[in-house]
Chains A and B, each alone.
Chain A
Amino acid sequence: MSTKLVQKLDRVVIRFAGDSGDGMQLTGDRFTSQTALLGNDLSTLPNFPAEIRAPQGTLPGVSSFQLHFADHHVLTPGDRPDVLVAMNPAALKANLRDLPRGATVIINTDEFTKRNLAKVGYAASPLEDGSLESYHVHPVALTSITVDALAAYTDLTRKEKERAKNMFALGLLSWLYTRPLEGTEGFLKAKFASRPAILDANLAALHAGFHYGETTEDFSVSYEVAPAPMEAGTYRNITGNVSLSLGLVAAAHRAKLPLFLGTYPITPATDILHTLAGLKRYGVVTFQAEDEIAGVGSALGASFAGALGVTSTSGPGLALKAETIGLAVSLELPLIVIDIQRGGPSTGLPTKTEQADLLQALFGRNGESPVAVVAPATPADCFDMAVEAVRIATVYRTPVLILSDGYLANGSEPWRLPRTSELPDLTVEFATEPNDVTADGEPVFHPFKRDPQTLARPWAIPGTPGLEHRIGGIEKADITGNISYDPDNHDKMTRLRQAKISGIADTIPPLAVDDPTGDAELLVLGWGSTYGPTAAGVRLARALGTSVAHAHLRHLNPFPANTGEVLRRYRRVIVPEMNLGQLAMLLRAEFLVDIQSHTAVRGLPFQASEIADVIAQAVRPSVAESMKEMAK
């Protein structure tokens, strides 16, 4: 019976860090799942190298998973971990500088051998040289205790036993933060159903870790974090890529269209292919093409044939797909293009996040080639923006780019499940009969005769008698769609295609501004995945008494109709983005307003404190100025 103290906390940030072969992502995922089931609000940040197995024990091989959970609404994975689990010296060295003084560090001492210390340049063991004095250090011989705990499993090799050490660590942390183990037990049973010996060893290691916490004197206190108040409903924890995939399936269902994904594997977008490939039951077709171009080409072909064509990629793949997206602009067919942005240029930082494809998304094609661009704000919002992208694509018969990024793709948060029946009705009406008459009064089908409201052209799919028509990338005559090299016609068609995309603004919600005091002179405007850190930074600034307004763009092309009006309402506008100022450039160009651009391209999301600092810097001069005014 444990007689240990239980202390209540309102929030905790934990980072699991180890070698890329140590199973840290899995450990983090499981801890997250347990935490979600307990009803805490949470946000996660996986961070892993591009190499599948970098040399063992080295700094480039460190993989980590950060989780922020709380008894209140959480917006980010947390700036600085309260607890670091370091499975080896490399994990300690790579992460220590992110810890505040007083943080808890749980260290797997078994890995602190001379050789491993030398690999990362430790002359002496940090466990012994006093360099960890400012932290609460819990040295635990994780590997050897795990192996000892599994002594009874004589069929397993030492290596196999060692591999269960992540489950031991998970068990220990589960005790420390009073997380139930049932969910993970069920998960392991499903994962290792066909390998009973491995299953038993993992379960034993998990429980051994839990009991270790209970019995060892090294841990005198365990913690509880109460559930966060959340809107009533059923929740699950979800990553951005899964949420995006499910959004597409739900939207295709609401549109009554078969979903066709043509794609090529690329980090960090591949999970979309993995998720959708398993959903054949829902009529989802996935095609792993020979390259990025064939991925989008097949998707466009599927759209021509009457399916909902989707392609998924990251920045380098978007570059390759550009010509086909241009064809889709010219053909005016629905097409969903997903770009899970990562660090660039070129191969860049495949597993790290960035927002530097915004201008590529808007302009990365030859000719005047406008497409709609949307950007989800959070992992759960990926679902809503997938549905919105399908709405725009089908109503306006246009390619729509969804700009997510590595942070949203792999990060997770609780998601209140929507009801499918309450999603928008996206039913598509294909053309079934002639839509015009010839000069002689004969009924005729004109593939480029537009809907006067939306400027969308009819979608007439093969198999429809009487509507046989040819379309292509050569400029088409207005209305008839026949090849036309006429100068005035090209000017007209170019303007029509632009007007169609601009007109989407009529059906998107206005830009909402969160300005609780109503007297803010400063607006912080974010887009895409900066939502969490920006909102959290604004929250911090307000807690310090600063009046600051916050707005967030999820539609990047076109912008919501009131965007210019909102921007002009504030004396100063700060736009934080993970690029060198791409949205700022667009806003300045379109609305002739001054924008203060705050940028960073470190492959990691902003920290809330960083945004709060930027806000503080920005308001101080105005405070100083108004004091000067008063002095007069």
Chain B
Amino acid sequence: MSITDLGIPTNGSPVIGHPLSGVGHVPPLSEGEKLSKKDFTSDQEVRWCPGCGDYAILAAVQGFLPELGIKRENMVFVSGIGCSSRFPYYLDTYGMHSIHGRAPAIATGIASARDDLSVWVVTGDGDALSIGGNHLIHALRRNINLKILLFNNEIYGLTKGQYSPTSRKGQVTKSSPFGSLDTPFNPVSLALGAEATFVARTLDSDRQHLSSVLRAAAEHRGSAFVEIYQNCPIFNDGVFDVLKDRTEAEGRIFYLNDGQEVVAGPEDDQRVVVRDDQGVMTVVPRTAADPARIVVHDESAESPAGAFALSRLDSPELSTVPMGIFRNVSRPSYDDLLREQVAAARTGEITDADIDALLGGKDTWTVSGSV
């Protein structure tokens, strides 16, 4: 089921007040109140390296947040450690720059304690997939109402250039002078395997696509996982360049649009994704494709198998790169269920007398007269 199936009107902006929207319980702006990018810009000097992809992401986020139509003071950005994790300092919302890998755990506490907050986690490939891998997968399976933005630059930047869990096999870095031996994670496959209900991928430099994915993530109730390919100009420069060159990108990026065929390339030289009897997906020229086997994207498919097969089209050469929302299904979020349990158990305001009764328990005895 998608949000649309649930009868939520979608006019392009997230729905405030609807319980099944990601910002459903967050107070909206008052009548006539409007926020702009400037309102989300903190007074702190931004200190990323010149040319860092994080600048573009920050600008996109600052530009997109006003569209949410919710109160700025009800937004919380939590990060871990790494270049990307400086992000909260530059946004004029509530924020916490925490410790390495732990942002999803801390954000889980925030989201569980309060349903009136829009909680975002900003993390990187080392932070989320290496030291914090455990917290990431558990946040996703619980479907906590968090929006997790993973800036993937396939390198450790802040510690100056060691291979990361997404670095390509054989990559030569300061800590792998003979080439990395690690098999990298595919973050989208990992998130799908961890039972994530919303999984998407986008690119730092594609402002429009990035903003549309962020909007959908904000609208999603539960965990939304967004992998953002991000360039590190110092330690891994140009790793996504082929996706930024218009001509190169056209044949490589397969945009995922719900209900549409998964294709790339110019009209006259299209490549399409086809599915075999085992569910494995491959890319073939349209001219060679059996029309019945061409994959029509269904982001709300109950089984994650299709989304997973799409994620396996990735290759180190970036010759086939699905981009967009892989999966977007509805499942109750842990924090909502938790609040429901508490609400169901509650019988009203707790008074001192209620606490007295609790302290007494079932087996009490009374001693009269003092000694």
Contact = CB atoms under 8 A, between A and B. Distances in A.
B44 interface: yes
A467 B345 CA distance: 34
Given A287-B112, A294-B134, A470 B341 contact: no
A250 B355 CA distance: 7
Given A280-B344, A307-B109, 18 more contacts: A36-B365, A183-B363, A229-B371, A235-B366, A236-B361, A289-B108, A289-B138, A293-B135, A294-B134, A302-B109, A304-B106, A304-B110, A323-B102, A327-B98, A468-B72, A468-B93, A469-B95, A471-B97
A420 interface: yes
B5 interface: no
A120 interface: no
A498 to B, nearest CB: 21
Interface stretch (A6-14, A458-466, A577-585): A458-466
A159 interface: no
Interface in B49-99: 71-76, 78, 88-89, 91-99
Contact of B73 (A300, A304, A463): A463
Q: Which 10 A-B pairs have the closest CB atoms?
A: A301-B109, A472-B97, A297-B105, A298-B109, A280-B345, A294-B105, A470-B95, A301-B106, A290-B138, A229-B371
A253 interface: yes
A235 B365 contact: yes
Interface stretch (B113-121, B202-210, B235-243, B253-261): B113-121
B347 interface: yes
A300 B112 contact: no
17 contacts: A37-B365, A260-B112, A280-B342, A281-B350, A282-B354, A284-B342, A285-B112, A289-B138, A290-B134, A298-B105, A304-B106, A305-B114, A306-B114, A327-B98, A462-B73, A462-B114, A473-B97
A258 B366 CA distance: 31
B99 A324 contact: yes
A473 B99 contact: yes
A299 interface: yes
B363 A287 contact: no
Contact of A309 (B76, B109, B345): B109
A304 B102 CA distance: 14
B107 interface: yes
A237 interface: yes
B110 A470 contact: no
Contact of B359 (A324, A418, A482): A418
Given A305-B117, A473-B97, A236 B72 contact: no
A463 B74 contact: yes
Given A231-B370, A290-B138, A294-B102, A307 B113 contact: yes
B292 interface: no
A interface secondary structure, majority: mixed
Interface string A375-405: 0000000000000000000000000000000
B365 A472 contact: no
Given A420-B355, A462-B73, A233 B112 contact: no
A280 B346 contact: yes
A474 interface: yes
Nearest to A281: B345
B219 to A, nearest CB: 20
Contact of B364 (A234, A309, A462, A473): A234
A465 B135 CA distance: 30
A139 interface: no
B239 to A, nearest CB: 28
A290 B117 CA distance: 23
Interface residues of B, number: 63
Contacts of B290: none
A331 B113 contact: no
Nearest to A422: B352
B6 interface: no
Contacts of B287: none
B42 interface: yes
Contacts of B366: 233-235
Contacts of A576: none
Contacts of A420: 352-353, 355-356, 359
Interface of B: 27, 42, 44, 71-76, 78, 88-89, 91-99, 102, 105-114, 116-117, 134-135, 138, 338, 341-342, 344-347, 350, 352-356, 358-361, 363-371
B359 A246 contact: yes
Interface of A: 33, 36-37, 39, 183, 227, 229-238, 246, 249-250, 253, 258, 260, 262, 279-285, 287, 289-291, 293-294, 297-307, 309, 323-324, 326-327, 331, 417-421, 462-474, 482-483
A299 B98 CA distance: 13
Most chain A Cβ neighbours within 10 Å, of B91, B354, B365, B366: B365
Contacts, number: 217
Nearest to A235: B365
Nearest to B339: A285
B96 A283 contact: no
B74 A293 contact: no
Contacts of B71: 463, 465
B134 A291 contact: yes
A470 B368 contact: no
B25 to A, nearest CB: 11
B367 A39 contact: yes
Contacts of B113: 258, 260, 285, 301-302, 305-307
A307 B347 CA distance: 20
B85 to A, nearest CB: 9
B102 A470 contact: no
A471 B42 CA distance: 13
Contacts of A229: 371
Contacts of B361: 236, 238
A468 B73 CA distance: 6
Nearest to A462: B94
A604 B99 CA distance: 38
Contacts of B76: 304-305, 462
Contacts of A327: 98-99
A483 B364 contact: no
Contacts of B350: 253, 281-283
Most chain A Cβ neighbours within 10 Å, of B73, B88, B344, B368: B73
B97 A299 contact: no
Contacts of A36: 363, 365
Contacts of B353: 420
Contacts of B114: 305-306, 462-463
A250 B106 contact: no
Contacts of A250: 355, 359
Given A306-B114, A331-B96, A279 B108 contact: no
Contacts of A260: 109, 112-113
A482 B347 CA distance: 44
A168 to B, nearest CB: 22
Nearest to B100: A323
A235 B364 contact: yes
Given A302-B112, A324-B102, A463 B117 contact: yes
Contacts of B346: 280-281, 283
Nearest to B344: A280
Most chain A Cβ neighbours within 10 Å, of B345, B356, B359, B360: B359
A30 to B, nearest CB: 10
Contacts of B341: 280
Contacts of A262: 109
B74 A462 contact: yes
Contact of B363 (A232, A237, A298): A237
Nearest to A309: B109
Contacts of B78: 301
A462 B110 contact: yes
A249 B352 CA distance: 11
Contacts of B108: 287, 289, 294, 297-298, 301
Nearest to A301: B109
Nearest to A258: B113
Contact of B138 (A33, A294, A304, A331): A294
